[in-house]
Structure 1
Amino acid sequence: MLQPNPNVINNPIELFPVAPITPQLKAVDFFCGAGGVTAGFVQAGIEVLAGIDIDPNCKATYEENNTGSKFLKKDISLYNPEDLSTELKIQRNDDDLVFIGCSPCQYYSSVNNIKDKSAKGRLLLEDFQRFVDHFRPGYIFIENVPGLKKNNESPLGRFKQFLIDAGYVFSDDVLNAKYFSVPQNRRRYVLLATRINNEIKLPTGSKKNVTSVRSVIGDTTVFPPIVAGHKDNSEFLHSAASLNEVNMRRIQRTTHNGGSRREWSDDPELQLECYKDYEGHSDVYGRLYWDKPSPTITTKFYSLSNGRYGHPEQDRALSLREGAVLQSFSSSYKFLASSQGINGKLIGNAVPPKMAMAIGNALIENRINGAI
């Protein structure tokens, strides 16, 4: 009787197991702006079908840098979910669909004092909820200022209750972008939700990821020294705002590498009337520190008088490209708006791509492995 040969494998399936199919997440980026989340999600391996924004100034920048993603200029308060379904060929109850809702947040920002200008934005989360309710995507990502969570008037509480009622679980907290390799001290409220698994976790970041201003703008072969008022007409956009005579004197009196306005507070020609008897807001007119993360890059980071946005050494404020790389945009990311102010707004309002990439990686891990 023949005996089986122990060197022959009779079950080829055991030798060549079929690899599990990795789900391909796809996303719709509501309030996409310049495309910070889109860029980060694509780096993580998520297909972004489209970015939606009411601002036409976003279109050229978004489309140029995010090939394959449509730009839809829409006011979502007036846009029908059925029309979005037709436009993007997306269906309800798609487990692999991600909705991104990083809406404009000035109304709840701690640095905004003019509420009437941004009052309409306080309701955008409710408009976003209408699309979530219709499509019931597998995942939801929201990023906003910490004030959204703290403010009792915000719609966040109602949105969370809606998620619970709709069968979602979520995790939310205030995260700092500096722990995700963004060279910037940027605290943001983040919420991740899913109806696919019983739990979802935010990425934790690490102190090992903290990096400095010097590491991204300190190389003078990449960022050659420029003067205030320099206009860079290339796509690199290393342009700096001009300074009037008194502001030039102020920054010349401000110590390199972290100096502040307090250094010339005793000079009656330089001291501002509003600060004569006020010690707060000492960062205004200050210089960045070389070996620390930058302060939060706002929409006015290119203006010396709007925060600690003076270059660590040169007598000027940050250039547009310096602000962009401090937001973790690549040096090749093109900002194509028609003015310095609009480009500054696109840069300052963006979710840092490296932070978005960490969020995207967390969603992929949850889809494949659950909440482990």
Structure 2
Amino acid sequence: MSASRPQWSGRRGDVRIADLFCGCGGISLGLMETCRALGKRPDYVFACEMMPDYLDVYSRNFDPDYSISEPIEKIFNRDVGARASDKEKEWGKKIGNLTIAVGGPPCQGHSDLNNYTRRSDPRNSLYMKMARFAEIVEPEHVIIENVLGVRHDKNGVFDTTVEALLKLGYSVDTPLVKGEMIGVPQRRHRAFIVASKTKPLHQGYFDSALKAQYVRERSVRWACEDLLDLEQHSPMDVESKLSGVSKERVDWMFENGAYDLPDRFRPSCHRDKDHTYKSVYGRLYWDKPAWTITTGFLVMGQGRFLHPLRRRVITPHEAARLQFFPDFFDFGVQKRGGYAKMIGNAVPAKMAYAVALELLR
């Protein structure tokens, strides 16, 4: 992937962007590439992210006019349909005309990996803040991304947000995007809400646009082959140290050509009860896409993160490649856990690109 930042002529006009819940910037990166493909110039107007480290990385890569490290509900602090507060009016004027608002509200409450608060997490209500932002600022387009489980949220936030956007005069489609179908070297599936005031969207609108971008599946090899034995000059390329018992598990898998660890070698919390976590302690396949990269990719016991050819888990650099981050993206200097959280929580840029390309053309 490219090590140099691309340049844009911007001759076809600016695309003014606001990114709520921006994280380190996966969706905004996708919009950057969309603008480059369409000959437009991205103009990052507003970014909001509670985690200062994430916002710092976002700012160094996109340099937004306004970057706010506080909860979005304290800025857009009333519900959809309510009279605008003074603070909402203030920020509406600051942001001004906007082409597109994007965001991926915190998804842990929706994830099927979360057994405790699945689909009933109070953070799920943040979904409606995207609609409130649209009501106050009136962007031309809105893109909201999340895990598939959001569609079955206990409180119906997905459908409620769609209904709110429709009442605000947007047309809406809710495409399912499968990363491996559009060139992401990872089996990552996400639910999108896409709304527009200028495109006549409807359910199924994006089906043909996404099919037009289908490519042959890209593998871990495609993404990471040149990183196999890279010298560890950057903290992004430093290997995690395996414990003694983890090393024994890794050695057994390589010596037996295995990609899944038998239950008899697992800790008792998995071994002594029924479980469906076959991929935990798993090894990636060299010539297939990776499974979903999560924030636990530095730990063998948190997913299928063992390297296909080397007796170690993948590095942050390799995880970033699998998440479709180009090498020019600047993550700064972080603790290893910081890299894992930023990269694992991000949206692969190609997924945002696949949707935005049709929306902004």
* TM-score bracket for this pair, using the shorter chain length: 0.7 to 0.9
Find the counterpart in structure 2 of residue 129 from structure 1.
Answer: 131
Identify the residue that residue 259 of structure 1 maps to in structure 2: 259
Q: 1:279 to 1:164 in 2, by over 3 A?
A: closer
CA distance in 1, matches of 2:284, 2:15: 39
Give the superposition deviation at 1:65: 1.8
Question: For the residues of structure 2 that align with 1:73 and 1:151, how far apart are their CA atoms?
Answer: 27
Measure the CA separation in 1 of the matches of 2:237 and 2:89: 43
Q: Determine if the alignment matches structure 1 residue 214 to structure 2 residue 221.
A: yes
Give the superposition deviation at 1:215. 0.7
Q: 1:199 maps to what in 2?
A: 201
CA distance in 2, matches of 1:73, 1:277: 43
Cα contact 2:293–2:344 (8 A) shared by 1? yes
Q: How does 1:1-372 map to 2 (within 5 A)?
A: 22=12, 24-45=14-35, 46-67=42-63, 70-79=66-75, 80-88=87-95, 90-91=96-97, 97-115=99-117, 119-199=121-201, 201-202=205-206, 203-205=209-211, 206-219=213-226, 222-224=227-229, 232=232, 234=234, 237-255=236-254, 259-262=259-262, 265-266=263-264, 270-273=265-268, 274-278=270-274, 280-336=276-332, 338-365=334-361
What is the CA-CA distance between 1:37 and the residue it aligns to? Answer: 1.1
Counterpart amino acid of 1:129? A
> Secondary structure of 2:187's partner?
coil
Q: Which one-letter code corresponds to 1:73 in the other structure?
A: S
Contact 2:131 2:165 in 1 (8 A): no
Q: Which amino acid aligns with 2:25?
A: G
> CA–CA distance in 2 between the matches of 1:291 and 1:69?
42
Q: Distance in 1 between matches of 2:282 and 2:57?
A: 30
Superposed CA deviations along residues 176-204 of structure 1, whole A, max 9, x for unmatched, are 11122211000100111112232263241
State how far apart, in whole Å, the 1-side matches of 2:303 and 2:218 are. Answer: 20
- Range with bigger deviation, 342-351 or 195-204: 195-204
Post-superposition shift, 1:137? 1.5
Q: How far is the alpha carbon of 1:351 from its aligned partner?
A: 0.9
Distance 1:167 1:36 in 2: 28
TM norm structure 2: 0.83
| Percent identical residues | 26
Unaligned runs of 5+ in 2: 1-10, 36-41, 76-86
1:131–1:337 CA distance, 2 compared to 1 (3 A): farther
Which one is further off, 199-208 or 247-256?
Answer: 199-208
Does the CA-based 8 Å contact 2:27-2:103 persist in structure 1?
Answer: no
Letter in 2 for 1:204: L
TM-score, length-scaled by structure 1 = 0.81
Shift of 1:61: 1.2
**Aligned residues: CA RMSD:** 2.4
Aligned to 2:184, the other structure's residue is in SS state coil
Superimposed CA distance per residue, residues 230-262 of structure 1 (whole angstroms, 9 cap, x where no aligned partner): xx4626x11222221101100111148761112
Q: Give 1:70 deviation, angstroms.
A: 4.4
Measured after TM superposition, the shift of residue 225 of structure 1 is: 5.9
Going from structure 1 to structure 2, the CA distance change for 1:363 and 1:69 (only over 3 Å counts) comes to farther
1:60 Cα deviation from its structure 2 partner: 2.3
Which residue identity does 2:149 align to in structure 1? Answer: G
Three-state SS of the structure 1 residue aligned to 2:74 is coil
The secondary structure found in structure 2 opposite 1:100 is strand
How many Å apart are 1:87 and its aligned residue? Answer: 3.7
Q: Number of paired residues?
A: 327
Aligned to 1:142, the other structure's residue is in SS state: strand
| Separation in 2, partners of 1:151, 1:86 | 33
1:161 to partner: Cα distance: 1.2
Does the 8 A contact of 1:238 with 1:319 survive in 2? yes
Change (3 A) 1:242 1:69: farther
Structure 2: distance between partners of 1:249 and 1:63: 42
